[in-house]
Structure 1
Amino acid sequence: MSISNAMVLAAGLGTRLRPITDTMPKPLVEIAGKPMIDYVLDLLVEAGITRAAVNVHHFADQMEGHLSRRSAPEILISDERDALMNSGGGLVKGLKLLPDGPVLVMNADLFWVGEDTSRPSNLTRLAAAFDPDRMDMLLLCVRDENTTGHNGKKDFSLGADGKLTRYKEGLPNPVVYAGAIALHSRLFADAPDDAFNLNIYFDRAAEKGRLHGILLEGHWMTVGTPEAIGEAEAAIRRHQPGG
Protein backbone atom coordinates (compact mmCIF):
# COMPACT_ATOMS: atom_id res chain seq x y z
CA MET A 1 0.00 0.00 0.00
CA SER A 2 1.24 3.48 -0.84
CA ILE A 3 1.05 5.92 2.09
CA SER A 4 1.79 9.64 1.71
CA ASN A 5 0.50 11.06 5.03
CA ALA A 6 1.96 10.76 8.52
CA MET A 7 1.36 11.83 12.11
CA VAL A 8 4.33 12.51 14.38
CA LEU A 9 3.73 12.47 18.13
CA ALA A 10 5.99 15.20 19.50
CA ALA A 11 4.11 16.92 22.35
CA GLY A 12 5.54 15.11 25.39
CA LEU A 13 7.31 16.87 28.25
CA GLY A 14 10.48 14.77 28.20
CA THR A 15 10.72 14.88 31.99
CA ARG A 16 13.38 12.17 32.29
CA LEU A 17 15.65 14.19 30.01
CA ARG A 18 15.79 17.12 32.45
CA PRO A 19 17.59 19.46 32.91
CA ILE A 20 18.01 19.61 29.12
CA THR A 21 14.25 19.75 28.57
CA ASP A 22 13.87 22.59 31.07
CA THR A 23 14.78 24.90 28.21
CA MET A 24 13.84 23.01 25.04
CA PRO A 25 11.45 20.31 23.80
CA LYS A 26 12.75 16.75 23.73
CA PRO A 27 12.33 16.28 19.94
CA LEU A 28 14.82 19.13 19.34
CA VAL A 29 17.55 17.58 21.51
CA GLU A 30 20.47 16.85 19.19
CA ILE A 31 21.93 13.38 18.79
CA ALA A 32 25.20 13.41 16.83
CA GLY A 33 24.46 16.97 15.74
CA LYS A 34 20.92 16.34 14.51
CA PRO A 35 17.61 16.93 16.36
CA MET A 36 15.75 13.71 17.09
CA ILE A 37 12.66 14.80 15.19
CA ASP A 38 14.74 15.33 12.05
CA TYR A 39 15.84 11.70 12.12
CA VAL A 40 12.15 10.78 12.21
CA LEU A 41 11.02 13.21 9.52
CA ASP A 42 13.88 12.22 7.24
CA LEU A 43 12.92 8.55 7.57
CA LEU A 44 9.34 9.46 6.65
CA VAL A 45 10.38 11.49 3.62
CA GLU A 46 12.60 8.65 2.41
CA ALA A 47 9.54 6.36 2.61
CA GLY A 48 7.46 8.66 0.40
CA ILE A 49 5.64 10.76 3.00
CA THR A 50 4.78 14.20 1.59
CA ARG A 51 2.61 15.58 4.43
CA ALA A 52 2.94 15.17 8.20
CA ALA A 53 0.90 16.47 11.11
CA VAL A 54 3.05 17.13 14.19
CA ASN A 55 1.57 17.82 17.61
CA VAL A 56 3.25 20.40 19.85
CA HIS A 57 2.93 21.43 23.51
CA HIS A 58 6.23 21.72 25.44
CA PHE A 59 8.12 24.79 24.11
CA ALA A 60 5.70 24.76 21.20
CA ASP A 61 7.11 27.98 19.71
CA GLN A 62 10.56 26.38 19.41
CA MET A 63 9.01 23.36 17.71
CA GLU A 64 7.06 25.48 15.23
CA GLY A 65 10.10 27.61 14.43
CA HIS A 66 12.26 24.56 13.75
CA LEU A 67 9.63 22.77 11.67
CA SER A 68 8.95 25.87 9.58
CA ARG A 69 12.51 25.70 8.26
CA ARG A 70 12.07 22.24 6.76
CA SER A 71 11.32 21.96 3.05
CA ALA A 72 9.90 18.42 3.31
CA PRO A 73 7.58 16.99 4.25
CA GLU A 74 4.80 19.58 4.36
CA ILE A 75 4.17 20.15 8.08
CA LEU A 76 0.76 20.72 9.66
CA ILE A 77 0.83 21.76 13.34
CA SER A 78 -1.58 20.08 15.74
CA ASP A 79 -1.59 22.57 18.62
CA GLU A 80 -1.84 21.10 22.13
CA ARG A 81 -0.66 24.20 23.99
CA ASP A 82 -3.88 24.27 26.03
CA ALA A 83 -3.83 20.63 27.11
CA LEU A 84 -1.81 17.49 26.44
CA MET A 85 -3.92 14.81 24.79
CA ASN A 86 -1.82 11.73 25.62
CA SER A 87 -0.77 9.39 22.81
CA GLY A 88 -4.25 8.39 21.64
CA GLY A 89 -5.94 11.74 22.00
CA GLY A 90 -3.03 13.51 20.36
CA LEU A 91 -3.10 11.10 17.44
CA VAL A 92 -6.85 11.50 16.91
CA LYS A 93 -6.60 15.30 17.03
CA GLY A 94 -3.73 15.34 14.56
CA LEU A 95 -5.43 12.95 12.15
CA LYS A 96 -8.23 15.49 11.72
CA LEU A 97 -5.73 17.70 9.87
CA LEU A 98 -5.06 14.95 7.32
CA PRO A 99 -7.23 13.38 4.61
CA ASP A 100 -9.03 10.17 5.58
CA GLY A 101 -7.05 7.11 4.61
CA PRO A 102 -3.91 5.16 5.48
CA VAL A 103 -1.30 6.94 7.56
CA LEU A 104 2.06 6.27 9.15
CA VAL A 105 2.39 7.24 12.82
CA MET A 106 5.74 7.81 14.52
CA ASN A 107 7.02 8.98 17.88
CA ALA A 108 9.31 12.00 17.53
CA ASP A 109 11.96 10.58 19.86
CA LEU A 110 12.34 7.00 18.60
CA PHE A 111 14.43 6.29 15.52
CA TRP A 112 16.92 3.90 13.99
CA VAL A 113 20.09 3.77 11.92
CA GLY A 114 22.02 1.16 9.99
CA GLU A 115 19.41 0.09 7.44
CA ASP A 116 20.67 -1.77 4.34
CA THR A 117 20.30 0.93 1.68
CA SER A 118 20.08 -1.69 -1.06
CA ARG A 119 16.77 -2.93 0.37
CA PRO A 120 13.41 -1.20 0.93
CA SER A 121 13.46 0.83 4.15
CA ASN A 122 11.65 -0.17 7.31
CA LEU A 123 8.90 2.39 6.75
CA THR A 124 8.55 1.47 3.08
CA ARG A 125 8.09 -2.17 4.11
CA LEU A 126 5.65 -1.15 6.84
CA ALA A 127 3.47 0.77 4.39
CA ALA A 128 3.62 -1.98 1.77
CA ALA A 129 2.67 -4.73 4.24
CA PHE A 130 -0.29 -2.89 5.76
CA ASP A 131 -3.60 -4.52 4.81
CA PRO A 132 -6.57 -2.69 6.38
CA ASP A 133 -8.89 -5.57 5.52
CA ARG A 134 -6.96 -7.85 7.90
CA MET A 135 -5.32 -5.37 10.26
CA ASP A 136 -6.33 -2.53 12.51
CA MET A 137 -2.68 -1.62 12.99
CA LEU A 138 0.67 -2.86 11.74
CA LEU A 139 3.50 -2.09 14.17
CA LEU A 140 7.20 -1.88 13.49
CA CYS A 141 8.92 -3.99 16.14
CA VAL A 142 12.50 -4.71 17.12
CA ARG A 143 14.31 -7.40 19.04
CA ASP A 144 15.78 -6.19 22.33
CA GLU A 145 19.34 -7.05 21.27
CA ASN A 146 19.06 -4.53 18.42
CA THR A 147 18.27 -1.57 20.71
CA THR A 148 20.18 1.13 22.56
CA GLY A 149 18.72 2.99 25.55
CA HIS A 150 15.85 0.55 26.05
CA ASN A 151 15.05 -0.76 29.55
CA GLY A 152 14.74 -4.38 28.42
CA LYS A 153 10.94 -4.53 28.66
CA LYS A 154 9.28 -6.73 26.05
CA ASP A 155 6.00 -5.38 24.67
CA PHE A 156 4.63 -8.11 22.43
CA SER A 157 5.09 -11.66 21.23
CA LEU A 158 5.28 -11.84 17.42
CA GLY A 159 3.59 -14.92 16.00
CA ALA A 160 4.65 -16.82 12.90
CA ASP A 161 1.50 -15.44 11.25
CA GLY A 162 2.61 -11.87 11.96
CA LYS A 163 0.04 -11.30 14.71
CA LEU A 164 1.03 -9.57 17.94
CA THR A 165 -0.11 -10.49 21.44
CA ARG A 166 0.87 -8.79 24.69
CA TYR A 167 4.08 -10.36 25.96
CA LYS A 168 3.97 -12.61 28.99
CA GLU A 169 6.91 -14.43 30.53
CA GLY A 170 7.67 -17.59 28.59
CA LEU A 171 5.99 -16.60 25.34
CA PRO A 172 8.13 -17.02 22.21
CA ASN A 173 9.62 -14.33 19.98
CA PRO A 174 9.43 -11.31 22.32
CA VAL A 175 9.72 -7.91 20.61
CA VAL A 176 9.77 -4.22 21.51
CA TYR A 177 7.40 -1.72 19.89
CA ALA A 178 9.65 0.53 17.81
CA GLY A 179 7.38 3.59 17.72
CA ALA A 180 6.05 3.34 14.14
CA ILE A 181 2.57 2.24 13.01
CA ALA A 182 0.67 1.89 9.76
CA LEU A 183 -3.09 2.30 10.21
CA HIS A 184 -6.23 3.63 8.52
CA SER A 185 -7.74 6.77 10.05
CA ARG A 186 -11.20 5.16 10.08
CA LEU A 187 -10.00 3.10 13.06
CA PHE A 188 -10.67 6.18 15.21
CA ALA A 189 -14.08 7.11 13.78
CA ASP A 190 -15.70 6.62 17.20
CA ALA A 191 -12.73 7.71 19.33
CA PRO A 192 -13.23 10.22 22.16
CA ASP A 193 -12.09 13.82 21.70
CA ASP A 194 -10.32 13.97 25.05
CA ALA A 195 -7.02 12.52 26.22
CA PHE A 196 -6.51 8.76 26.19
CA ASN A 197 -3.67 6.27 25.83
CA LEU A 198 -3.13 4.55 22.50
CA ASN A 199 -2.51 1.28 24.34
CA ILE A 200 -6.29 0.91 24.53
CA TYR A 201 -6.38 0.45 20.76
CA PHE A 202 -3.38 -1.87 20.78
CA ASP A 203 -5.19 -4.14 23.22
CA ARG A 204 -8.49 -4.04 21.32
CA ALA A 205 -6.76 -4.89 18.07
CA ALA A 206 -4.80 -7.73 19.68
CA GLU A 207 -7.96 -9.23 21.17
CA LYS A 208 -9.54 -9.29 17.70
CA GLY A 209 -6.44 -10.76 16.07
CA ARG A 210 -5.99 -7.55 14.07
CA LEU A 211 -2.74 -6.28 15.60
CA HIS A 212 0.18 -7.27 13.38
CA GLY A 213 3.89 -6.58 13.38
CA ILE A 214 7.00 -6.70 11.23
CA LEU A 215 10.61 -6.64 12.37
CA LEU A 216 12.86 -3.62 12.04
CA GLU A 217 16.14 -3.94 10.18
CA GLY A 218 19.04 -1.93 11.55
CA HIS A 219 19.58 -0.57 15.06
CA TRP A 220 16.89 1.21 17.08
CA MET A 221 17.40 3.72 19.85
CA THR A 222 15.52 5.62 22.49
CA VAL A 223 16.99 8.57 24.39
CA GLY A 224 15.26 8.91 27.73
CA THR A 225 17.95 10.41 29.95
CA PRO A 226 20.91 12.79 29.50
CA GLU A 227 23.28 9.82 29.92
CA ALA A 228 21.56 8.02 27.04
CA ILE A 229 22.65 10.72 24.56
CA GLY A 230 26.25 9.48 24.58
CA GLU A 231 25.10 5.86 24.24
CA ALA A 232 22.97 6.77 21.22
CA GLU A 233 25.79 8.73 19.59
CA ALA A 234 28.14 5.78 20.06
CA ALA A 235 25.56 3.47 18.48
CA ILE A 236 25.22 5.81 15.50
CA ARG A 237 29.00 5.79 15.01
CA ARG A 238 29.07 1.98 15.16
CA HIS A 239 26.37 1.64 12.52
CA GLN A 240 27.68 4.20 10.06
CA PRO A 241 29.33 2.79 6.93
CA GLY A 242 32.87 1.89 7.95
CA GLY A 243 32.00 2.37 11.63
Structure 2
Amino acid sequence: MTIRQAMVLAAGLGTRMRPITDTIPKPLVKIAGKAMVDYALDLLEEGGVTRAVVNVHYLADQMEAHLKARHHPEILISDERDQLLDSGGGAKKGFHLLEPGPVFIMNSDLFWVDAPNVHASSLTRLGQFFDPQTMDMALLCVPLERTTGHNGKKDFSLSPDGRLTRYRDGMENPVVYAGAIALTTGLLNNTPDGPFSLNRIFDRAIEGGRLYGLMLNGDWLTAGTPEAIGEAEAKLAALAAETAA
Protein backbone atom coordinates (compact mmCIF):
# COMPACT_ATOMS: atom_id res chain seq x y z
CA MET A 1 0.00 0.00 0.00
CA THR A 2 1.02 3.64 -0.41
CA ILE A 3 1.36 5.42 2.94
CA ARG A 4 0.86 9.18 2.79
CA GLN A 5 1.19 10.19 6.47
CA ALA A 6 3.85 9.86 9.15
CA MET A 7 4.72 10.48 12.78
CA VAL A 8 8.27 11.71 13.42
CA LEU A 9 9.63 11.18 16.93
CA ALA A 10 11.69 14.27 17.75
CA ALA A 11 10.97 15.10 21.41
CA GLY A 12 13.93 13.40 23.13
CA LEU A 13 16.44 15.19 25.34
CA GLY A 14 19.57 14.16 23.41
CA THR A 15 21.66 13.82 26.58
CA ARG A 16 24.37 11.69 24.93
CA MET A 17 24.97 14.45 22.40
CA ARG A 18 25.95 17.02 25.04
CA PRO A 19 27.48 19.58 25.11
CA ILE A 20 26.11 20.24 21.60
CA THR A 21 22.55 19.70 22.80
CA ASP A 22 22.95 22.13 25.68
CA THR A 23 21.87 24.80 23.21
CA ILE A 24 20.08 23.02 20.35
CA PRO A 25 17.74 19.99 20.21
CA LYS A 26 19.32 16.81 18.86
CA PRO A 27 17.15 16.64 15.69
CA LEU A 28 18.65 19.99 14.64
CA VAL A 29 22.25 18.81 14.99
CA LYS A 30 23.77 19.01 11.52
CA ILE A 31 25.42 16.17 9.62
CA ALA A 32 27.27 17.39 6.53
CA GLY A 33 25.47 20.72 6.81
CA LYS A 34 21.92 19.37 7.14
CA ALA A 35 19.84 18.89 10.28
CA MET A 36 19.14 15.25 11.12
CA VAL A 37 15.39 15.83 11.17
CA ASP A 38 15.58 17.06 7.58
CA TYR A 39 17.25 13.84 6.48
CA ALA A 40 14.29 11.98 7.99
CA LEU A 41 11.69 14.30 6.45
CA ASP A 42 13.39 14.12 3.05
CA LEU A 43 13.21 10.32 3.17
CA LEU A 44 9.52 10.50 4.06
CA GLU A 45 8.83 12.91 1.20
CA GLU A 46 10.73 10.66 -1.20
CA GLY A 47 8.65 7.73 0.06
CA GLY A 48 5.38 9.47 -0.82
CA VAL A 49 4.41 11.02 2.52
CA THR A 50 2.49 14.28 2.18
CA ARG A 51 1.72 15.02 5.85
CA ALA A 52 3.92 14.44 8.90
CA VAL A 53 3.39 15.10 12.59
CA VAL A 54 6.55 15.99 14.52
CA ASN A 55 6.48 15.94 18.32
CA VAL A 56 8.46 18.54 20.27
CA HIS A 57 9.53 18.89 23.91
CA TYR A 58 13.14 19.92 24.53
CA LEU A 59 13.94 23.40 23.14
CA ALA A 60 10.62 23.14 21.34
CA ASP A 61 10.62 26.74 20.10
CA GLN A 62 13.74 26.04 18.02
CA MET A 63 12.15 22.93 16.55
CA GLU A 64 8.97 24.78 15.59
CA ALA A 65 10.90 27.66 14.02
CA HIS A 66 13.00 25.28 11.95
CA LEU A 67 10.05 23.20 10.78
CA LYS A 68 8.08 26.26 9.67
CA ALA A 69 10.55 26.65 6.83
CA ARG A 70 9.50 23.28 5.34
CA HIS A 71 6.53 22.97 3.02
CA HIS A 72 6.90 19.35 1.90
CA PRO A 73 5.72 17.27 3.51
CA GLU A 74 3.13 19.34 5.34
CA ILE A 75 4.26 19.55 9.01
CA LEU A 76 1.95 19.44 12.02
CA ILE A 77 3.29 19.87 15.56
CA SER A 78 2.42 17.59 18.47
CA ASP A 79 3.31 19.63 21.56
CA GLU A 80 4.81 17.68 24.47
CA ARG A 81 6.20 20.66 26.36
CA ASP A 82 4.14 19.75 29.43
CA GLN A 83 4.98 16.04 29.49
CA LEU A 84 7.44 13.89 27.59
CA LEU A 85 5.49 10.83 26.44
CA ASP A 86 8.19 8.38 25.28
CA SER A 87 7.99 6.74 21.86
CA GLY A 88 4.63 5.01 22.22
CA GLY A 89 2.81 7.76 24.07
CA GLY A 90 4.23 10.37 21.72
CA ALA A 91 3.08 8.44 18.66
CA LYS A 92 -0.39 7.91 20.12
CA LYS A 93 -0.85 11.62 20.81
CA GLY A 94 0.47 12.55 17.37
CA PHE A 95 -1.90 10.14 15.66
CA HIS A 96 -4.81 12.34 16.76
CA LEU A 97 -3.60 14.89 14.20
CA LEU A 98 -3.69 12.36 11.37
CA GLU A 99 -6.40 10.46 9.56
CA PRO A 100 -7.16 6.93 10.78
CA GLY A 101 -5.33 4.41 8.65
CA PRO A 102 -1.83 3.40 7.60
CA VAL A 103 1.06 5.51 8.87
CA PHE A 104 4.83 5.51 9.18
CA ILE A 105 6.59 6.15 12.46
CA MET A 106 10.14 7.38 12.02
CA ASN A 107 12.91 8.48 14.37
CA SER A 108 14.34 11.93 13.74
CA ASP A 109 17.95 11.23 14.72
CA LEU A 110 18.89 8.61 12.15
CA PHE A 111 18.64 8.15 8.42
CA TRP A 112 19.87 6.02 5.55
CA VAL A 113 21.12 6.27 2.00
CA ASP A 114 19.39 3.90 -0.39
CA ALA A 115 21.61 1.94 -2.71
CA PRO A 116 22.05 3.58 -6.14
CA ASN A 117 19.83 2.47 -9.02
CA VAL A 118 17.10 1.03 -6.77
CA HIS A 119 13.63 0.97 -8.31
CA ALA A 120 11.83 2.15 -5.15
CA SER A 121 12.90 3.86 -1.95
CA SER A 122 13.12 1.80 1.22
CA LEU A 123 10.07 3.55 2.68
CA THR A 124 8.07 2.92 -0.47
CA ARG A 125 9.05 -0.74 -0.25
CA LEU A 126 8.13 -0.84 3.45
CA GLY A 127 4.66 0.53 2.69
CA GLN A 128 4.18 -2.01 -0.09
CA PHE A 129 5.38 -4.82 2.18
CA PHE A 130 3.06 -3.94 5.09
CA ASP A 131 -0.09 -6.06 5.20
CA PRO A 132 -2.38 -5.16 8.14
CA GLN A 133 -4.27 -8.43 7.64
CA THR A 134 -1.26 -10.44 8.76
CA MET A 135 0.95 -7.84 10.46
CA ASP A 136 0.62 -5.47 13.39
CA MET A 137 3.76 -3.66 12.29
CA ALA A 138 6.46 -3.90 9.65
CA LEU A 139 9.87 -2.64 10.73
CA LEU A 140 12.64 -1.50 8.44
CA CYS A 141 15.78 -3.44 9.41
CA VAL A 142 19.44 -3.41 8.45
CA PRO A 143 22.36 -5.81 8.94
CA LEU A 144 24.91 -4.64 11.49
CA GLU A 145 27.65 -4.39 8.86
CA ARG A 146 25.65 -1.75 6.95
CA THR A 147 25.40 0.61 9.95
CA THR A 148 27.49 3.64 10.88
CA GLY A 149 27.52 5.11 14.39
CA HIS A 150 25.59 2.21 15.91
CA ASN A 151 26.54 0.76 19.29
CA GLY A 152 26.74 -2.80 17.97
CA LYS A 153 23.49 -4.03 19.53
CA LYS A 154 21.53 -6.59 17.52
CA ASP A 155 17.81 -6.00 18.01
CA PHE A 156 15.94 -8.81 16.28
CA SER A 157 16.31 -12.09 14.45
CA LEU A 158 14.63 -12.08 11.03
CA SER A 159 13.12 -15.43 10.03
CA PRO A 160 12.86 -16.60 6.40
CA ASP A 161 9.13 -15.77 6.36
CA GLY A 162 9.83 -12.19 7.50
CA ARG A 163 8.77 -12.51 11.14
CA LEU A 164 10.86 -10.81 13.82
CA THR A 165 11.75 -12.07 17.29
CA ARG A 166 13.97 -10.49 19.92
CA TYR A 167 17.59 -11.37 19.26
CA ARG A 168 19.41 -13.69 21.65
CA ASP A 169 23.03 -14.84 21.37
CA GLY A 170 23.48 -17.48 18.72
CA MET A 171 20.30 -16.75 16.77
CA GLU A 172 20.50 -16.64 12.99
CA ASN A 173 20.05 -13.58 10.78
CA PRO A 174 20.46 -10.83 13.40
CA VAL A 175 19.31 -7.36 12.33
CA VAL A 176 19.27 -3.83 13.67
CA TYR A 177 15.98 -1.90 13.83
CA ALA A 178 16.42 0.98 11.39
CA GLY A 179 13.95 3.36 13.06
CA ALA A 180 11.04 3.23 10.63
CA ILE A 181 7.73 1.40 11.11
CA ALA A 182 4.63 0.86 9.01
CA LEU A 183 1.42 0.30 10.99
CA THR A 184 -2.15 1.54 11.28
CA THR A 185 -3.10 4.30 13.70
CA GLY A 186 -5.68 2.03 15.36
CA LEU A 187 -2.97 -0.27 16.69
CA LEU A 188 -2.37 2.16 19.57
CA ASN A 189 -6.03 2.70 20.45
CA ASN A 190 -6.02 0.38 23.46
CA THR A 191 -2.86 1.71 25.06
CA PRO A 192 -2.23 4.10 27.97
CA ASP A 193 -2.64 7.84 27.41
CA GLY A 194 0.56 8.59 29.33
CA PRO A 195 4.18 7.73 28.58
CA PHE A 196 5.01 4.26 27.28
CA SER A 197 7.57 2.74 24.95
CA LEU A 198 6.91 1.25 21.54
CA ASN A 199 8.93 -1.72 22.77
CA ARG A 200 5.78 -2.80 24.60
CA ILE A 201 3.94 -2.91 21.26
CA PHE A 202 6.82 -4.76 19.60
CA ASP A 203 6.67 -7.48 22.25
CA ARG A 204 2.90 -7.79 21.98
CA ALA A 205 3.18 -8.18 18.21
CA ILE A 206 5.93 -10.79 18.59
CA GLU A 207 3.71 -12.83 20.93
CA GLY A 208 1.04 -12.91 18.24
CA GLY A 209 3.49 -13.66 15.42
CA ARG A 210 2.61 -10.33 13.82
CA LEU A 211 5.87 -8.35 13.92
CA TYR A 212 7.57 -8.42 10.52
CA GLY A 213 10.76 -6.96 9.12
CA LEU A 214 11.97 -5.75 5.73
CA MET A 215 15.64 -5.27 4.97
CA LEU A 216 16.92 -1.83 4.08
CA ASN A 217 18.50 -1.65 0.65
CA GLY A 218 21.35 0.70 1.49
CA ASP A 219 23.43 2.09 4.36
CA TRP A 220 22.11 3.29 7.72
CA LEU A 221 23.58 6.11 9.78
CA THR A 222 23.03 7.48 13.25
CA ALA A 223 24.88 9.98 15.42
CA GLY A 224 24.24 9.60 19.13
CA THR A 225 27.37 11.37 20.39
CA PRO A 226 29.45 14.34 19.20
CA GLU A 227 32.20 11.94 18.12
CA ALA A 228 29.77 10.06 15.86
CA ILE A 229 29.11 13.15 13.74
CA GLY A 230 32.47 12.80 12.04
CA GLU A 231 31.87 9.11 11.38
CA ALA A 232 28.54 9.86 9.73
CA GLU A 233 29.99 12.65 7.60
CA ALA A 234 32.87 10.42 6.48
CA LYS A 235 30.43 7.67 5.51
CA LEU A 236 28.26 10.10 3.54
CA ALA A 237 31.33 11.35 1.68
CA ALA A 238 32.40 7.79 0.89
CA LEU A 239 28.95 6.88 -0.40
CA ALA A 240 28.82 10.00 -2.55
CA ALA A 241 32.23 9.11 -4.02
CA GLU A 242 31.08 5.56 -4.78
CA THR A 243 28.00 6.87 -6.56
CA ALA A 244 30.02 9.33 -8.61
CA ALA A 245 32.61 6.75 -9.63
TM class, shorter-length = over 0.9
Residue in structure 2 matched with residue 120 of structure 1 by the alignment: 120
The secondary structure found in structure 2 opposite 1:141 is: strand
Distance 1:235 1:208 in 2: 38
Q: Which residue of 2 aligns with 1:80?
A: 80
Tell me what 2:61 maps to.
Answer: 61
Give the TM-score of the pair, scaled to structure 1: 0.98
Amino acid at match of 2:59: F
SS in 2 for 1:2: coil
Structure-1 residue corresponding to 2:50: 50
1:26-48 deviations in whole A, cap 9, x for unaligned? 00000000000000000000111
Q: What is the CA distance between 1:89 and its match in structure 2?
A: 0.4
Give the distance between the partners of 1:217 and 1:31, measured in 2 at CA: 21
Equivalent residues of 1:114, 1:239 under 8 A apart: no
Deviates more, 1:107-116 or 1:27-36: 107-116
SS at match of 1:43: helix
1:91-170 equivalences under 5 Å are 91-170=91-170
How many angstroms apart in 1 are the aligned matches of 2:225 and 2:236?
Answer: 17
Q: Any conservation in 1 of the 2:9–2:87 contact (CA below 8 Å)?
A: yes
Deviation at 1:117, TM superposition (A): 3.9
Alpha-carbon distance between aligned partners in 1 of 2:188 and 2:57, rounded to the nearest angstrom: 22
**Cα distance between partner residues in 1 of 2:14 and 2:121:** 28
Task: Indicate the RMSD between aligned Cα atoms, in angstroms.
Answer: 0.8
Return the alpha-carbon distance in structure 2 between the equivalents of residues 102 and 60 of structure 1. Answer: 27
Question: Is the contact between residue 164 and residue 211 of structure 1 (CA under 8 Å) also seen in structure 2?
Answer: yes
Is residue 202 of structure 1 aligned with residue 193 of structure 2?
Answer: no
Amino acid at match of 1:71: H
**Cα offset, 1:84, TM superposition:** 0.4
CA distance in structure 2 between the partners assigned to 1:184 and 1:156 by the alignment? 21
C-alpha distance after superposition, 1:2-28 (max 9, x if no partner) = 110000000000000000000000000
Query: Which runs of 4 or more aligned residues in structure 1 lie more than 4 Å from their structure 2 counterparts after TM superposition?
Result: none
Partner SS for 2:83: coil
The one-letter code matched in structure 1 to 2:121 is S
Specify the code of the residue in structure 2 equivalent to 1:84: L
Identity %: 65
Which aligned pairs between 1:11-50 and structure 2 lie closer than 5 A? 11-50=11-50
Residue 213 of structure 2 is matched in structure 1 by 213
* Partners of 1:86 and 1:189 in 2: CA distance: 16
Q: TM-score, normalised by structure 2?
A: 0.98
Amino acid corresponding to residue 166 of structure 1 in structure 2? R
Deviation at 1:216, TM superposition (A): 0.5
Give the counterpart of 1:242 among 216, 236, 244: 244
What's the offset of the Cα at 1:115?
2.5
| Deviation digits for residues 154-198 of structure 1 (CA, Å, limit 9, x no counterpart) | 000000000000001111000000000000111111111100011
Gaps of 5+ in 2: none
Gapped regions of structure 1 (runs ≥ 5): none
SS class of match (2:90): helix
Number of residue pairs the alignment of both structures matches: 243
Match in the other structure for 1:191: 191
Q: Distance in 1 between matches of 2:115 and 2:27?
A: 22
